[in-house]
Amino acid sequence: MNIMHLAIVSSVSQRISTRFRLILLINILALLPMASFAQETEQDTVAAAPAWPEDSLGRRTPRGTVTGFFSAVADQDYTKAAFYLNLISPIDTIQDGAATAKALQRLLDQNSRFLPRSWISNEPDGRLDDDLPPNLERVGSATLDSLQIDLVLEKTEGAEGGPIWLFSAETVRKIPVAAVGAEATVIEKTLPNFLEDNNLGGVPVGHWIGMLVIAIISYLAAWGLTSALAWLIHYIWRKTREEPTYGVIRAFSLPIRLYLTAVILVMLSQRFGISIILRQRFSEFTIIVGLVAVLLLLWRLVDAIANFSRRRLTHRNNMAGISIVLFLRRAAKVALLVIGSIAILDTLGFDVTTGLAALGIGGIALALGAQKTVENFVGSVTLITDQPVRVGDFCTVGNTSGTVEQIGMRSTRIRTSERTIVTIPNGDFSSQKIENFAFRDRFLFAPALRLRYDTSPEQIQAVLSALREILASHDKVDQGSARVRLTEISTDSLKVEIFTYILTSDFNEQLEIKESLLLRMMEAVNTQGKGFALPAQQLLVTENGNSKADHRKDISDTSPEV
């Protein structure tokens, strides 16, 4: 198998570049051990597969037992439903089992709380984390004359081997066959006989109508509660009458109303005695409504926090902070969509674990072909979290200098001094040397002045004193770092170095201050000394009358070196 993989890689690699060929070969070779391990695991799984056949009634798992029981009672086939009960004694007749199954349905209709179908384990071993013995599975509870009855499934061994889940003997023993059904439920007292006698899907038509009416009543009750609560908050806390607080409360009212509707619907349907078959069919729907309400609440909470933060940051003119808020809002919404989709699919009974595994394998394949995209995404996260630059900062990145205009998910845009836009991928941007001029609190002022050789020591002292006085008299010069020193006697000039900082963060202001200081220093050099060293040309005459020009350049310009 490994030789076949290598042959395929070799044939494909002839048509691609050398660099990509190497990367592809390394990735496939790295995945080959994983494939071998997966093959061995698959073989072990096949070897460990159960030897028993499928149960014709689907009782191998707790969910299968509950589904089969409700399907049988919906068809009013109580003889079949009896096979889902662990009858107390083997001498019980089929008629006794059918009567017990019918009594159990009646008990569930009257006042019971049953787990939704998707919450019941679909594994042969059941749930092992419910603090119950491994052979027991609790699926709900019922109340009869203030007596609490736990609805428990127990695992037994079938005639052909393997687990068979049944309603436990203890649960069956607690079902009083004679007492159940003695009192009519609320909906039975309300509905006329023709709505009770006609069935739709194993449920009386009146129960369908009753469930619809209860859903409407639940929504109206939830609407009334949320409206009353909002009015009470407005009355007590007057600030909520103004934006943005009022907008936040209004945004939260809908998801809270939906969640309360689902809760009230479940409670009223149990209290009014809606058929357990219909309630079980609607259980997944109510769970999805609750999940959507929670997700919608979190979604609007993210929007409310993001809008509030953006208004605050806009007021402070913090454009980088706005970019971070927008990025976090998008990331949070994507996470909510992913989590919500997984939760809804799991509620509907889909195998989410297998789907996530498939997504993981597909993610590996996608990552191999989208390395640059992932690199740019990671680079954008680095730029937003580390903040080496922000929107509006003047910076130098590599050979590009300009003002940052936008930090996106894939690239960053810089407006250069030529008024052009340079777009740099965030992966490259974050890996380069970044020099940010926006955080500079002062400017360096360090010109080097070259004096003429014929300047006397007394004149040099006078020039140095005048230069020091110029720095000391300016209020924008950092006195703590200011110094003026004669540092070098070179072959063509006397070098005086000046070092200090200009106390301003504005570029144009520092240019104005620098210009003023340089003009005053030029005046001091010309009045107190002999002036600056100038470019000179010396002519040498030899004995034979030939001349040779010797060019000696004292400085590169007639102005002070800065």
pLDDT of residue 126 exceeding 70, the answer is yes
* Mean pLDDT across the chain: 78
Task: Please compute the mean of the pLDDT values over residues 486-498 and round it to a whole number.
Answer: 91
Task: Please compute the mean of the pLDDT values over residues 110-130 and round it to a whole number.
Answer: 83
**Beta-sheet strands, E only, within 398-524:** 400-407, 411-416, 421-425, 434-436, 443-445, 448-451, 483-489, 494-502
Q: Which residue has the tokens 């799984």?
A: 45
Q: What are phi and psi of 479, to 5 degrees?
A: -75, -25
Task: Please compute the mean of the pLDDT values over residues 494-522 and round it to a whole number.
Answer: 94
Each residue's pLDDT tens digit, 340-392? 888 888 777 776 666 666 666 666 666 566 667 767 777 777 777 777 888 88
Considering the chain, what percentage of its residues have pLDDT values greater than 70?
75
What tokens were used for 281? 């069919």
Q: pLDDT tier at 28 (50, 70, 90 boundaries)?
A: very low
| pTM for the structure as a whole | 0.55
- Spelled out in words, what is the top-level CATH class assigned to the domain 384-436? mainly beta
What number does CATH give the domain 443-528? 3.30.70.100
Q: What is the dihedral of CA 124, 128, 129, 134, to 10 degrees?
A: 130
Closest CA to 484 of 524, 443, 533: 524
Q: pLDDT tier at 5 (50, 70, 90 boundaries)?
A: very low
Each residue's pLDDT tens digit, 150-171? 899 999 888 778 899 999 988 8
Task: Please compute the mean of the pLDDT values over residues 485-508 and round it to a whole number.
Answer: 92
Task: Please compute the mean of the pLDDT values over residues 23-37 and round it to a whole number.
Answer: 40
Q: Are 323 and 313 in contact (CB under 8 A)?
A: no
Q: Which residue has the tokens 């996106």?
A: 408
- Alpha-carbon distance of 541 to 276, in angstroms, equals 123
Each residue's pLDDT tens digit, 215-267? 899 989 999 988 888 778 777 776 665 655 666 677 778 888 888 888 898 88
Each residue's pLDDT tens digit, 70-93? 889 888 888 898 889 988 654 455
pLDDT of residue 514 exceeding 90, the answer is yes
